[in-house]
Structure 1
């Protein structure tokens, strides 16, 4: 069993992702409550059947330190859905500075985008508008919740209501 469960803090904020086994124990020991089941799936013991958790909420508030998303190459690709932000291709990807380094462009979430090598070379040390290129979406700093969503295999959208939506 390799399914994952979204764990919410008592205030319904996303806290972490854990295994189904760990989530079941938390619910069984009354340390959390079952919020959503995994689309009709069941866990079976010798004599009983239990709904498989997909989302649980802790019964006590846990004071967790702020969890930010590290600015890394892979996280930029993930934020941009592994697509060139100029043409949309998913091949030969690299990182582009929207405001080029030659013009004092920073290494930041709002200045780095995924670009294919062809578009990156075409843009060069120019601003996108100077070479008639348009970004498909504005770069943004993603929230921790967005990255939690990307770290699971929840294709049915059972977590969507708890993780919110990212800007487009």
Structure 2
């Protein structure tokens, strides 16, 4: 049961991801509705079986003043797909300040990138241009929905209408609310 469940706020906006047992408990205690279930799996007890949740929606709106992604080593690695942004290596990874700290570079999403130890050492106290080491992808700060969609591991098919970020009207109230 390593799979995850997408948790939607009362307005169908993506809120977070939780474990299947936590999602089941929220539905069972009537704190959330089951929006989508797994087509071919169920949760079983000795005498009953229940649908395996894939997407749930909370009954009460949860106000989050800040829905950003925490800047951390692991999240930078996730954003960069666990690859050195200079050579593409996947081993001996570390973080590199694109504009070195000694030159006023900040520790921020836009200035940190994944680098292998060899490239980080080779680049040293230079900018990528000065070291003639162009970045494969320019560093950026992922949005909350982008992080849920792209960096949470796997994305279930049933999550797509809620984390796709598309602005198309489908005629389905739940989908339309999720994308606006």
Q: TM-score, normalised by structure 1?
A: 0.81
Asked if 1 retains the 8 angstrom alpha-carbon contact of 2:54 and 2:156, the reply is no
Structure 1 residues without counterparts, runs of 5 or longer: none
Structure 1 residues 8, 108: closer, same or farther in 2, change over 3 A?
same
Count, aligned residues: 164
1:99 is matched with: 99
* Secondary structure of 1:86's aligned partner: coil
* Secondary structure of 2:70's aligned partner: coil
* Secondary structure of 1:96's aligned partner: strand
1:109 is matched with: 109
Matches of 2:141 and 2:60, distance apart in 1? 30
2:15 is matched with: 15
Matches of 1:125 and 1:158, distance apart in 2? 46
Matches of 1:144 and 1:160, distance apart in 2? 15
Q: Which runs of 4+ in 1 moved over 6 A?
A: none
Structure 1 residues 155, 16: closer, same or farther in 2, change over 3 A?
closer
Q: TM-score, normalised by structure 2?
A: 0.76
Structure 2 residues without counterparts, runs of 5 or longer: 166-180
2:62 is matched with: 62
